[in-house]
Chain A
Amino acid sequence: MEAISIEGTPKTPTVNFDTDKGFLEIKGRSIPENSIEFYKPIVDLLEKYATKPQAATNVNIQLEYFNTSSSKCILDVFKKLEGINKNGSKVMINWYYEEDDEDMLEAGEDYQAIINVPFKMVQVVD
């Protein structure tokens, strides 16, 4: 199936989505002024992937910064994953946060409260 591989910029994250392996990774910074445009291909491919997902889907979210414009798009990604999880693929979202970054931990917990998918909070120690 298709894959997405986007290199990060100062305002947008690195994205790797390997549908054959059932692996999605978003890391770096997500602070574009218009996030919808950036996240659309990811949401679209997730929709396609949902029709024929792998037995397990692993998702790594490791963001240094993200803005509120991105937060809604990230929720859209998670909502797609929620559907995929419901339809048989075992989804796990690994939410990475740096040791002292309480705001990022809290942001992960916000999503965890909204989305019905197993979350793992992973502390990154420098």
Chain B
Amino acid sequence: MVLDIYGFYDKMEQNNIMLSFKGDITSDLLTSILQIMEAKLDNFQEEPKIKKKVYNVLVECLQNLYHHMDDSTAGNDEKVRSAIFMIGKMDTYYNIITGNYIKNENIPNLKRLLDSINKLSKEELKEYYKEVLNNGEMSLKGGGGLGMIDIARKTGGKLNFDFTPVDQKYSFFSLNINVSQ
């Protein structure tokens, strides 16, 4: 089978994808990606306020992937080592999409967290953030749900997410975030 590269290209073009990556997420990779994105945001002459928001949300989204993959190194499972992300620039917003494998057994907890965040108002999110920051148990790598709360606070929108069943052990978790311009 010949890879339909034009098909890929066209799809990305239609979705205004400015940057995409699939593979192992390393610290060095994130450093490079963030550098590239910062230069692009400067090129678009984005307002500093918007630039900071997009950059902040991007950091949290990408570091979520990084930490998730870090979690799974013990398993040394090829599937879990890989993730995807795409960043698109639409007319009125930036679109950040991430995708990674998740063990089926971990879905309920994550779903509960995201559903509860999506129910909160701006003020409630602020209180929840402070509560988790002050009392929440953080793992060595951070986390504790603070990243997701922060994304919801900064974007002011809902966290769109989905779990696509893959097999008995895994599903594919996708997160779709919009940052308004």
Contacts and interface: CB of A to CB of B under 8 A. Distances in A.
State yes or no: do A and B come from one complex: yes
Interface of A: 10-11, 31, 33-36, 64-65, 67-69, 71-72, 75, 98, 100-104, 106, 110, 113-114
Interface stretch (B4-12, B76-84, B137-145, B157-165): B137-145
Contact of A68 (B53, B134, B147): B147
Interface of B is mostly: helix
B67 interface: yes
7 contacts: A10-B34, A33-B30, A68-B147, A68-B149, A71-B150, A101-B49, A103-B53
A103 B59 contact: no
Nearest to A115: B134
B121 interface: no
Given A10-B34, A100-B48, A69 B142 contact: yes
B134 A67 contact: no
A64 B137 CA distance: 26
Interface string B19-62: 00000000100110011000000000001110011011001100
- How many interface residues does chain B have, given as a range? 20 to 34
B175 to A, nearest CB: 15
B114 interface: no
A72 B146 contact: yes
Contacts of A69: 63, 141-143, 147
B154 interface: yes
Contacts of A34: 140-142
Nearest to B138: A72
Given A33-B141, A75-B134, A114-B134, A101 B146 contact: no
Contact of B63 (A33, A71, A98, A110): A33
A42 to B, nearest CB: 17
